[in-house]
């Protein structure tokens, strides 16, 4: 018996990924799709401007979209809501007893809301017990943060990490379907993404921190610079880590890294959370973004210099960094008995 | 003594070209810039998201933007208004005695409004005398139409043209600053542009037709297919023309083509309205779009087969096909005594 | 018992597609990979600059590459040879009794060599009986021709077609791995592709013609213009067809078109050779190139005007238009008893 | 009376920039163009695949190309030679008494050869007096190094700099006309550029070091990561500098920085070696690459965190970072009496 789930914000970039990834999911069955007033009442296939390569799943095509102010029947909710709607709606849903798995930044720093990546900070899920609502909110990290903390965690399991510098080269899909004008990015680099650097810096410290009656941020200097590049999918990040790990240490740590999702074989968990590349010209978005069905982080170009380890990572921003991350969180919460 | 002019819709793609092309113009001096309510009251440099390569001219930086509902003082108005505003505002302005040079499609098919390209249909300017307003509206053609009719006119001066097929590969700047999402066009071809094909087909017949107390459309079958390609500036068009001209005829016709703007040396008129390329790999947007300061149409790859002459043309869509075309129209109207 | 096959030119763009498409093929097993002298002797994984998204199949990784002058043991040969090698080597192989399925243009117009697309001209395979060699050569068409003749055939089964105009917007993968400099195509359109237009025009007439003791070219004027656009995979073509079919006729003809490969369920045959799109903005390379695993031709934007039917098609240039086409030809030849 | 100069390697990317920048130069007159054997004997316009936007200057069109093994008559030589030719030819020319201004990496670390950027290390030109040849070789830095050391120098004039981390996003023109396949970079990021990181690290230390009877490298840890992005011209670099300068210090240092070329008004010197941007989304290649005619380095996004100052810079890789840099060096050497 599959659990019924609703997808909120189903027509956007991340919503489309939810609709696609939840197709024939072993645990979950999508029974409602929600969108803004403009789309509500229309069939999904008529309202959506479908922009991802896997075609619209049959199950979704003729679903009539509900509006955000309609009551949600399902117990489990995947949220790809715009921030201004999520600010209150996600809390209302949690109060009504819903289990909300959210992509939105709204509640990532609420007192007992975890930013969960089950390979990295599985115990943070305990925080939901402190949420004063019948249901709960579990968020996943910003797309750039997600790619970064997975290899950082692999290093920190065995080595000291003193500081982190990261420069991102982010894909246009991260801005949503209509979030970035072609004229601005065509053949160009944009040297700034609003609020992205702050998110990477603060979320990394929270995810890598502890939870004991409350979140204790990791005392780790993180210095992020976010750029947009003309790539469709996949955020590339160059990372400098002040650490005692040398190149071979780091390679082993990356190669052998697994987490609970791998151990308990969650359906969306990739066999390898980190794919290590030895070739000089990898990882590349065009060739590697879909590794592990978009759930593996590809890491390469490992080098050590002057006390700093450096590497380049690539992560699928709308799968691992968004909808896929939420689906994995829901699988994890279900199997661990939180739902 | 320069004539004072206003630019309406000054913050958009075409508006920015107006502001740039009218910098140190020998006939005109921009004294007001108009924008939508959101921008009105701000300094131009603060309201505009400047996206073209020549920097904002000094004269414009600190101009405080006026709103469309404020009275226009200047006699000459360059309009890059959105269609829904232009529908009524351009007519109101003409009634008030303004000479409106418009880029908008709103009035191109009004009874006595010419779609003017002074090299092609200079006599169409006579139509403004029939406009029942103190001032007048002169429009320029759609950006794709402009590039097409100039070489067609060169051919038709000496040869018979029976039908025209045209396939466009249009630049993203044609959609405006925020008109096209990067996600949709990145590494892609979009096989359709709304209303573009109809515009090319109908405007071509009007421009190449006659004016005698009214416009008589040219009886010429034109069959257009419009595509969007990931190019920043410059519309490329492949044209098949059913004609008695052979390749050498056509080359001569293109090479020697000049119009009144060249004869009377209008400041914005390019020395050569048509630049003929003999190399196989030309014209190309990256190398040729700025030919003649963006006012020349580049033509190449001329071939004859089966009764059809074919060639490839390239035209700067926001200069010759938009703001530059309007400025040339105003220069022409002024020198011919219509202002 | 699978048939052993060799792939010649295995490290190039089309060679990589062969290696990928023949992975776990139900009829064929790749037992040798051939490359130029520079690569011969190396393991495939070390010699190849793998540029397609599906990873190198395990079977191929450690295969030691043979050089073109080494003897071929296998009876069936897939050739992605450079033209200058194919000119003589493919003939030598046919003389030795090999069944050569070639992507190269070298022998497409040899007297009894068919350009075979089994949905379109299956009977042309009869020509191989006239080849004066123990084995034979079967070629597939140029990548752009392939996408064009499939919908043309669908029309011609029921309607008259008098002339064809086609404008292509071709992907960079068509030029091979190193065939096109990034500097030339980045944000650009190249208005010419060497020899492409002649190939489209002549191959179309041969494929749509008859075979009776020799090939009789179809008397059909075809006028092609080939352009390169910054798209990774997938050739888009805008086609004007002088025909008595109207839009609804054409849609039905496209939708219902099937050929022998579908009837006898060849493994590489797509369920639908032609995928009809009704949405205005389809087909698009980014969304549709992999339809039918890259073997379906997507057709959309059907319109009739002035005696001409027009439509836009999209075809995967290195699958349907190259390696996939050859594999389908080999499946067809095997099932029809020619091997 | 202008000095006669020769350009070696005149058909390549950098050679074309030389030919363009030396057009109507106040000090220099190009009297010979040299190219490889394949091109020698042809007219320049027939041999060159011209890929930059300013058209071929008239003076160059009909110059008959000489081959590298022909004697050079001119005293001043601009070299854009491939490394394997430059290795010996540049030395031979210096021995013959020629003043060689080279873009090639061959001799940058020869004992008394300066890597000269006249705003940064003008005194390094003294080294040429120690070269045991009648003429001399003066090199300019790698394109990425050039953009980096100019703002570093501005900081170091007033503040302490302890270490530097730099991540580049480099344009495709840096790879030369045919140096980078479109298939590899289209919509992609390549996480590696051969030998680039080592060049940035070592050249920076040499340029910022001292010359006293020999070069004394600056003891400055520099850690570089080089990426290729789909941008036509302009290298973007994100820099982290461990320094005591705060944001306002750095802005002032950048804004006020000038060097000898500005003081003595060399024709190719930009008014401002560093252009400071305060807007969040600048600098961008598309809008800013041609600042100061391609000779200014644009710097923006200045931020301080955790002891590290960070900023983003943009520099024209084939003008300031190549041909323009050499021309400036020659102007400087001439005015300072070294020629």
Confidence check: pLDDT of A191 > 90: yes
8 Å CB contact of D182 and C185? yes
Confidence check: pLDDT of A39 > 90: yes
Per-residue pLDDT tens digits for C270-299: 999 999 999 999 999 999 999 999 999 999
Confidence check: pLDDT of A320 > 90: yes
Give the B window 207-266 contacts with A, CB below 8 Å.
230-232
Are C8 and C78 contacting, i.e. CB atoms less than 8 angstroms apart? yes
Which of A107, A124, A143, A316 is flagged as catalytic?
Answer: A143
Looking up tokens 């973007």 gives D236
d(CA A98, CA A116): 17
Per-residue buried b or exposed e for A44-74, using 16+ beta carbons within 10 Å of the residue's own CB: beebbebbbeeebeeebeebebbebeeebeb
Are D140 and D103 contacting, i.e. CB atoms less than 8 angstroms apart? yes
* Among A271, A189, A278, residue whose Cα is nearest residue A228: A189
For the four alpha carbons of C202, C203, C204 and C207, in that order, the dihedral sign comes to: positive
Cβ-based neighbour number of residue B195 at 10 Å: 10
Structural tokens at position A214: 């409350």
C227 contacts on B by Cβ (under 8 Å)? 169, 236, 238, 312
In chain B the beta strands, taken as DSSP E runs, fall at 3-8, 28-35, 66-67, 76-79, 99-102, 136-139, 161-170, 210-211, 215-216, 222-228, 235-243, 274-276, 297-305, 308-315
8 Å CB contact of A51 and C290? no
Q: Are residues C81 and C173 in the same domain?
A: no
Q: Are residues B278 and B196 in the same domain?
A: yes
One DSSP character per residue, B181-231 reads BHHHHTT--B---TTHHHHHHHHHHHHTSEESSSEE-----EEEEEEE-S-
Q: Are residues D275 and D132 in the same domain?
A: no
Q: Which residue of B has its CA nearest to D285?
A: B53
Which residue of D51, D232, D287 is in closest CB contact with B53? D287
Confidence check: pLDDT of D155 > 90: yes
pLDDT at residue number B206: 98
Cβ-based neighbour number of residue C239 at 10 Å: 24
Q: Which residue of A has its CA nearest to B185?
A: A182
Cβ-based neighbour number of residue B2 at 10 Å: 12
Residues of C belonging to the active site: 143, 235
Closest-CA distance, C215 to chain D, in angstroms, reads: 37
d(CA C103, CA C112): 16
Share of chain B above pLDDT 90, in %: 99
Q: Are residues B138 and B150 in the same domain?
A: no
Per-residue pLDDT tens digits for C101-130: 999 999 999 999 999 999 999 999 999 999
Closest-CA distance, A50 to chain B, in angstroms, reads: 10
Cα angle: B234, vertex B189, B182; to 5 degrees? 80
Q: Are residues A283 and A177 in the same domain?
A: yes
CATH number, domain containing residue C79: 3.40.50.720
HSE value, Cβ hemisphere, 13 Å, CA-based, for D140: 31
Per-residue pLDDT tens digits for A116-155: 999 999 999 999 999 999 999 999 999 999 999 999 999 9
SS3 B28: strand
pLDDT at residue number C103: 96
Q: Are residues B65 and B185 in the same domain?
A: no
Which residues touch A87 (CB under 8 Å, ≥6 apart)? Answer: A106
Q: Packing angle between helix D13-21 and helix D324-335, nearest 10 degrees?
A: 50
B187 contacts on D by Cβ (under 8 Å)? 186-187
Which residues touch A280 (CB under 8 Å, ≥6 apart)? Answer: A300, A301, D192, D194
| Structural domain containing residue D30 | 3-142+322-335
Looking up tokens 């008859």 gives C210
d(CA C129, CA C338): 9
Which residues touch C15 (CB under 8 Å, ≥6 apart)? Answer: C7, C8, C9, C33, C35, C80, C323
Per-residue buried b or exposed e for B158-180, using 16+ beta carbons within 10 Å of the residue's own CB: ebebebbbbbbbbbbbbbbbbeb
In SS3 terms, chain C reads as CCEEEEEECCCCHHHHHHHHHCCCCCCEEEEEEEECCCCCCCEHHHHCCCCCCCCCCHHHHCCECEECCCCCCCCEEEECCCHHHHHHHHHHHHHCCCEEEECCCCCCCCCCCCECCCCCCHHHHHHHHHCCCCCEEEECCCHHHHHHHHHHHHHHCCCCEEEEEEEEEECHHHHCCCCCEHHHHCCCCECCCCCHHHHHHHHHHHHCCEECCCEECCCCCEEEEEEECCCCCCEEEEEEEEECCCHHHHHHHHHHCCCHHHHCCCCCCCCCCEEECCCCCCCCHHHHCCHHHHCCEEEEEEEEECCEEEEEEEECCCHHHHHHHHHHHHHHHHHCCCC
Closest-CA distance, D231 to chain A, in angstroms, reads: 5
Confidence check: pLDDT of D306 > 90: no
Which residue of D53, D186, D290 is in closest CB contact with B287? D53
Q: Which residue of A has its CA nearest to B286?
A: A187
8 Å CB contact of A306 and D163? yes
Cα angle: C60, vertex C65, C71; to 5 degrees? 120
Whether D300 has its CB under 8 Å from any CB of chain A: the answer is: yes
8 Å CB contact of C221 and B280? no
Query: Binning pLDDT at 50, 70 and 90, where does residue A67 land?
Result: very high
8 Å CB contact of A286 and C53? yes
Exposed, middle or buried by CB within 10 Å (0-12, 13-18, 19+), for C224?
Answer: buried
Which residue of C223, C284, C305 is in closest CB contact with B240? C223
User: Chains A, B: CB contacts under 8 A, how many?
Assistant: 63
8 Å CB contact of A230 and B186? yes
Radius of gyration of chain A (CA): 19
Query: Binning pLDDT at 50, 70 and 90, where does residue A286 land?
Result: very high
pLDDT at residue number B1: 87
Q: Are residues B173 and B312 in the same domain?
A: yes
Which residue of D188, D227, D286 is in closest CB contact with A188? D286
pLDDT at residue number A306: 81
For the four alpha carbons of C249, C250, C255 and C259, in that order, the dihedral sign comes to: positive
d(CA C319, CA C52): 11
Per-residue pLDDT tens digits for B47-85: 999 999 999 999 999 999 999 999 999 999 999 999 999
Structural tokens at position C63: 């295969």
First-to-last C-alpha distance (Å) of chain A: 14
pLDDT at residue number A221: 96
Which residue, among D53, D162, D164, D167, would best test binding to A if mutated, counting the most A CBs under 10 Å from its CB?
D167
Q: Is D277 a catalytic residue?
A: no
Q: Are residues C7 and C117 in the same domain?
A: yes
In the beta sheet, which residues pair with residue A315? Answer: A235
Per-residue pLDDT tens digits for C187-215: 999 999 999 999 999 999 999 999 999 99
Query: Binning pLDDT at 50, 70 and 90, where does residue B306 land?
Result: confident
SS3 D19: helix
Q: Are residues C82 and C217 in the same domain?
A: no
Mean pLDDT computed over every residue of chain A: 97
CATH number, domain containing residue C239: 3.30.360.10
Exposed, middle or buried by CB within 10 Å (0-12, 13-18, 19+), for A190?
Answer: buried
Residues of B belonging to the active site: 143, 235
Are C171 and C235 contacting, i.e. CB atoms less than 8 angstroms apart? yes
Confidence check: pLDDT of A52 > 90: yes
* Among B289, B111, B320, residue whose Cα is nearest residue B213: B111
Closest-CA distance, C298 to chain D, in angstroms, reads: 23
pLDDT at residue number C190: 98
* Among C311, C314, C308, C312, residue whose Cα is nearest residue C163: C308
Exposed, middle or buried by CB within 10 Å (0-12, 13-18, 19+), for C211?
Answer: middle
Could you tell me the pTM of the whole model? 0.96
pLDDT at residue number A296: 98
| Domain count along chain C | 2
Give the A window 32-51 contacts with C, CB below 8 Å.
50-51
Residues B88-116, mean pLDDT to the nearest whole number: 97
Q: Are residues A158 and A86 in the same domain?
A: no
Residues B313-335, mean pLDDT to the nearest whole number: 98
Q: Are residues A249 and A277 in the same domain?
A: yes
d(CA B209, CA B124): 9
| ipTM for this model | 0.95
Structural tokens at position B82: 């959105």
Q: Are residues C29 and C98 in the same domain?
A: yes
Mean pLDDT computed over every residue of chain D: 97
Residues C61-81, mean pLDDT to the nearest whole number: 97
Per-residue pLDDT tens digits for C231-243: 999 999 999 999 9
Q: Which residue of D has its CA nearest to A304?
A: D223
Are A336 and A125 contacting, i.e. CB atoms less than 8 angstroms apart? yes
Element (H, E) at D168: strand D161-170
Residues C79-98, mean pLDDT to the nearest whole number: 97
Looking up tokens 């003589």 gives C88
pLDDT at residue number A110: 97
In the beta sheet, which residues pair with residue B101? Answer: B78, B138
Closest-CA distance, B23 to chain D, in angstroms, reads: 19
Confidence check: pLDDT of D236 > 90: yes
């Amino acid at each position: 018996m599959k659990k019924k789930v609703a997808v909120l914000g189903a027509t956007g970039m991340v919503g489309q990924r939810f609709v696609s990834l939840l197709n024939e999911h072993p645990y979950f069955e999508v029974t409602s799709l929600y969108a803004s007033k403009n789309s509500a009442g229309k069939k999904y296939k008529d309202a959506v401007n479908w922009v991802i390569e896997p075609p619209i799943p049959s199950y979704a095509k003729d679903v009539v979209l509900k509006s955000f102010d309609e009551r949600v029947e399902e117990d489990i909710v995947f949220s790809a809501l715009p921030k201004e709607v999520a600010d209150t709606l996600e809390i209302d849903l949690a109060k009504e007893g819903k289990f909300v798995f959210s992509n939105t930044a709204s509640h990532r720093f609420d007192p007992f809301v975890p930013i969960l990546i089950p390979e990295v900070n599985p115990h943070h899920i305990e925080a939901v017990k402190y949420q004063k609502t019948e249901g709960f909110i579990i968020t996943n990290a910003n797309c750039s943060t997600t790619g970064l903390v997975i290899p950082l965690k692999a290093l920190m399991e065995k080595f000291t990490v003193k500081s982190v510098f990261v420069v991102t080269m982010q894909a246009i899909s991260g801005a949503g379907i209509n979030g970035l004008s072609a004229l601005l990015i065509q053949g160009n680099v944009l040297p700034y993404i609003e609020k992205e650097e702050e998110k990477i810096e603060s979320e990394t410290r929270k995810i890598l921190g502890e939870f004991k009656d409350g979140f204790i941020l990791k005392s780790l200097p993180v210095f992020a610079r976010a750029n947009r590049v003309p790539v469709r999918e996949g955020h590339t990040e160059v990372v400098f880590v002040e650490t005692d790990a040398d190149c071979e240490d780091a390679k082993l740590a990356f190669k052998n890294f697994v987490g609970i999702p791998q151990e308990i074989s969650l359906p969306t968990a990739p066999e390898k959370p980190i794919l290590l590349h030895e070739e000089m010209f990898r990882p590349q978005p065009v060739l590697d973004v879909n590794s592990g069905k978009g759930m593996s982080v590809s890491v390469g170009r490992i080098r050590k210099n002057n006390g700093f380890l450096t590497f380049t990572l690539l992560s699928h921003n709308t799968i691992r960094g968004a909808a896929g991350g939420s689906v994995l969180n829901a699988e994890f919460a279900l199997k661990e008995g939180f739902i």
